[in-house]
Structure 1
Amino acid sequence: MITDESNELNNNNRNQPSRLVRRFFSVRKIPLSTLLLSCLTGLLTGFAATAFQLIIGWLTQYRVNSFDVSVQNFFLISVLSFLISFVLAYFSYWLVFKFAPEASGSGIPEIEGALDDIRPVRWWRVLPVKFLGGIAALGSGMVLGREGPTVQIGGNIGCMLFDLFRLKDKDVRHALIASGSAGGLAAAFNAPLAGIMFVIEEMRPQFRYSFISIKGVTISVVVAVIVLNYFRGPSAEIIIPDNITPPVQSLWLFLLLGCLFGVFGVFFNKLVTLFQNVFSSIQNKYPKYYMYIVSTMGGCFGIFLFYFPEITRGGIEIIPSLTSGIHGIAFLFILFALRLIVTLLCFGSGAPGGIFAPMLALGTLFGMCFGIVAVYLFPTFNLSPSVFAIAGMGALFAATVRAPMTGVLLVIELTHHYNIILPLIITTLGATMLAQALGGKPIYSMLLKRKIEQEKERQSST
């Protein structure tokens, strides 16, 4: 009798973990399959984002190193650099225009439209086009960010898994797309908290808040960043020298900087739309020659990549140099103006790349200029100009995307500078509030609305 009771007790103890698991998922109403698919989404997104970054880095570095070793002739270097970038840019535009027009530009508006059930997700053509086209566009040296492609790739991976497993629940589809998008952003910048907050904050009109979706997003982000760290390491994406924590009496300067970024953010968003309209008119007027025109522009960045790299690529690479204090305010301001122009040109042309990274570089440049002036006018505050550069990095993002907390987390995770969190919050909130007061709209909402209106116009004309 005692033996039977002890056996029953042992069986109950052995079964207790599985019972607890079943009870947890029944009480919380969490389909285990959804969480497992979110994990798989993060895994595939992490591999895709890591490969995307490594291939682009290798492609760019191999070109520069090869020319340094084997070629010394200025004319020959320029011709070869132009031809390589021209071919890469042409291949990128050709893929997009021929097979997947929805893969042009950032791709984040497409994901927001998919979450809102107003844009289709054709993952079977977007995934290869965005991956290969994005590598070619960024590898050519054009001023584009890697986060747009990885966000769209991640969202499409989530939808792909939903379709391959023949699921029917639209809430699960929504959760997987959101999970892949968050994992894509987190893996692009090694910023897990920013990836989660981006979906919750910036995509709040489309994101369906539920226990399933939140857990799915978190799991996907964690797995994607683990994959990235396994291949690249956990170090900060942007290495900036240590900064002195700003004193309390200097915080009003960060609010002033945020207000300046609020004005500039509204202006920047309008410029993005303006340049997109200009390129659209060129494409409509010269449809047979458009790819040659924009590819020629891409070829020029091949030359810049070798002789003036500061105005090429996304800009993350040059931020440590910009904040080191070796450049004067005149150089920084001229570089800011040049990078503003090339950012608008590259993104407005419809190349498959993002605008996050170029905005971070622009915010750093403007913030650094402001910081140099502030240090000169207020020497008793014992400030470092690089503190304003870091704050500006998040402020321009917040003013244009209208996601201040995402901007704060993104900058902190990129730089690992936690001591400036208070001035960073003040700057981003000031930028966001003034941009909203001026009537500015979030950039991705503007881009999505513009794309839908263009498609309606094309359909009505045909």
Structure 2
Amino acid sequence: MSIAIAGAGRRHTGRAFAVAAAAGSLVGLVGGGFRWCLAHAEDLRASILAAAGPGPAGVLVPVALTALGAALACAIAQGVPHAAGSGIQHVEAVWRRESEAHPLWLLPAKFFGGLVAIGSGLVLGREGPVVHMGAAIGSVAGRRARLDPGDARLLYTALGGAGLAAAFTAPLGGLLFVCEEVTRSIRPRLVLLTLVGTVSAVACSRFVVGGGAAFPVPDLVAPPVWMLGVFLVFGVTAGALGAAYSALVVGTLAACDRLTGVPLTARAALIGAVVGALMAVDPLLAGGGDPLSERLLAGGGMTVAALLAYLAVRFVAGPLSYAAATPGGLFAPLLALGALWGTLAEALVSPLLPAGAASPVAFAVVGMAALFTGVVRAPLTGVVLVAEMTNAGSLALPLLTACFAAHVTADRWGSEPIYDSLRRRMLQRP
């Protein structure tokens, strides 16, 4: 990551910051509205599943619901360039001048397509659509305010970070995401614009979804210093798992690309039917993963067999859902997977450790950041994002240690950061 000291000068400074504040506020309202709609869609889905009850209807209803939702979301995405998938790779490509922004129809396609896809039960995250919508709002705002091309480009990227901040109520995470992942540079003007955008976005999103951490955990005692060695080894396992997950995401997309005789909407419906069948077995096997993360971070006890089952199924269901070519991100399912891996690791090693050395919740929090780092390769973003989402500041040293180990391990395995792979794939396709 480079540090660019030279900024864009002082031209139009006040106007650019005013536009960032106004557009960031709109990002917060859109992101908060998306989260509000998703919460109600998930409640509706739960009500439909409960009404279906046991028996054949209990299987057919979730299968039909998710298949129809996946097909409809795929159809919505096909009408707009770059609407399918996360969208973060497109934001990065625009920053690198490898692609053009497509703001006109992207916003409604991402909003409604993501709402239908995630709301129907696909294992996808809300952050990708919100980041992409935030960047699209930044593109329109920069053009309407007639900012110079340099500031317009910075605003586009800054408001993508504001979208991440609104998706997870994590303003510092949104800032680090822009610097560490999207631009891989620290530019004073970009930092300031992103700060204005993320603060405005989170402040306005609270009018819609309220304040507070996304996954608040009980007060955690910092593990003893000698436990850092344990978290170092744990980070190595999370990095290896992250490398495998990245390979599965890219491999599943490549396998689906070879199904040239199957229409995209039919493929999406088939994938949705598979995920719907999993949902019929257990609703926690499907969806973005927030309820599962909340349960694990609340210390909800699960057997080792149950943890293994959830981990194995969601490890495959996430890449499969992403291959449905609907709007939806990777972050939220990754966080749930990391919480599962952390809780499972604690259950396996706790007999070897002194009583009270570290709780399952501490391992779950660290697992979220470490697996994220192994896949995305943005350790500081992972640490700060998870710390903001959980209020687990006492775990700073374990988080940093595990994320360091995860990053190095994934690199040593030759795993490419997931958004680099997805961006290259996007640019190679017609």
Name the TM-score, length of structure 1 as normaliser. 0.87
SS at match of 2:104: helix
Question: Which of 80, 88, 99 in structure 1 is aligned with 2:61?
Answer: 80
SS at match of 2:123: coil
1:339 corresponds to which residue? 314
SS at match of 2:221: coil
Percent same amino acid among aligned pairs? 31
SS at match of 1:354: coil
Pairs within 5 Å for 1:65-214: 65=47, 68=50, 71-72=52-53, 74-97=55-78, 99-167=79-147, 169-205=148-184, 209-214=186-191
Distance 1:383 1:377 in 2: 12
What is the CA-CA distance between 1:76 and the residue it aligns to? Answer: 3.1
Q: Retained in 1: the 8 A contact 2:374–2:406?
A: yes
SS at match of 1:346: helix
Distance 2:11 2:187 in 1: 11
What is the CA-CA distance between 1:214 and the residue it aligns to? Answer: 1.6
1:23 corresponds to which residue? none
Higher helix proportion: 1
What is the CA-CA distance between 1:379 and the residue it aligns to? Answer: 2.4
The amino acid across from 2:74 in the alignment is Y
Distance 2:429 2:275 in 1: 29
Question: Which of 193, 200, 203 in structure 2 is aligned with 1:216?
Answer: 193
Q: Retained in 1: the 8 A contact 2:35–2:209?
A: no
Distance 1:27 1:134 in 2: 38
1:20 corresponds to which residue? none
2:5 corresponds to which residue? none
Could you say which structure has the greater relative contact order, defined with CA pairs below 8 angstroms and 6 or more residues apart?
A: 2
SS at match of 2:226: helix
Q: Retained in 1: the 8 A contact 2:49–2:61?
A: no
1:53 aligns with 2:35: yes
SS at match of 1:382: coil
Deviations 1:238-288 (A, max 9, x none): 133333321111110000011112222222211111000011111x2323x
Deviations 1:310-339 (A, max 9, x none): 111111221132241510112101210000
What is the CA-CA distance between 1:294 and the residue it aligns to? Answer: 1.8
Q: Which runs of 5+ in 2 are unaligned?
A: 1-7
Structure 1 305/239 Cα, relative in aligned 2: closer, same or farther at 3 Å? farther
Q: Retained in 2: the 8 A contact 1:237–1:415?
A: yes
1:256 corresponds to which residue? 233
1:5 corresponds to which residue? none
1:37 aligns with 2:42: no
Q: Retained in 1: the 8 A contact 2:341–2:364?
A: yes
Distance 1:82 1:399 in 2: 32
Stretches of 4+ aligned residues off by more than 6 angstroms: none
2:223 corresponds to which residue? 246
The amino acid across from 1:281 in the alignment is R
The amino acid across from 2:330 in the alignment is I
Q: Retained in 1: the 8 A contact 2:19–2:145?
A: no
Q: Retained in 2: the 8 A contact 1:41–1:179?
A: no
Q: Retained in 2: the 8 A contact 1:398–1:407?
A: yes
1:317 aligns with 2:291: yes
1:443 corresponds to which residue? 418
The amino acid across from 2:385 in the alignment is L
Structure 1 247/223 Cα, relative in aligned 2: closer, same or farther at 3 Å? same
What is the CA-CA distance between 1:347 and the residue it aligns to? Answer: 1.0
The amino acid across from 1:296 in the alignment is L
1:268 corresponds to which residue? 245
Distance 1:346 1:182 in 2: 24
Deviations 1:57-106 (A, max 9, x none): 111202323553x5546333443333333332221100112x11411111
Name the TM-score, length of structure 2 as normaliser. 0.93
Aligned residue pairs total: 422
1:330 aligns with 2:305: yes
What is the CA-CA distance between 1:368 and the residue it aligns to? Answer: 1.0
Structure 1 228/305 Cα, relative in aligned 2: closer, same or farther at 3 Å? farther
Distance 1:398 1:312 in 2: 23
1:286 aligns with 2:262: yes
Pairs within 5 Å for 1:379-458: 379-380=354-355, 382-455=357-430
Distance 2:279 2:211 in 1: 28
State the superposition RMSD in angstroms: 2.0
Distance 1:103 1:216 in 2: 25
Structure 1 64/381 Cα, relative in aligned 2: closer, same or farther at 3 Å? closer
The amino acid across from 2:165 in the alignment is A
What is the CA-CA distance between 1:200 and the residue it aligns to? Answer: 0.7
Q: Retained in 1: the 8 A contact 2:81–2:102?
A: no
What is the CA-CA distance between 1:233 and the residue it aligns to? Answer: 1.9
Structure 1 172/281 Cα, relative in aligned 2: closer, same or farther at 3 Å? same
Q: Retained in 2: the 8 A contact 1:59–1:139?
A: yes
What is the CA-CA distance between 1:393 and the residue it aligns to? Answer: 0.5
Distance 2:357 2:64 in 1: 49
Distance 1:27 1:85 in 2: 51
The amino acid across from 1:294 in the alignment is A
Distance 2:356 2:65 in 1: 49
Distance 2:294 2:375 in 1: 23
Distance 1:251 1:441 in 2: 27
Distance 2:382 2:301 in 1: 26
Question: Which of 197, 205, 218 in structure 2 is aligned with 1:228?
Answer: 205
SS at match of 2:99: coil
Q: Which has the larger radius of gyration?
A: 1
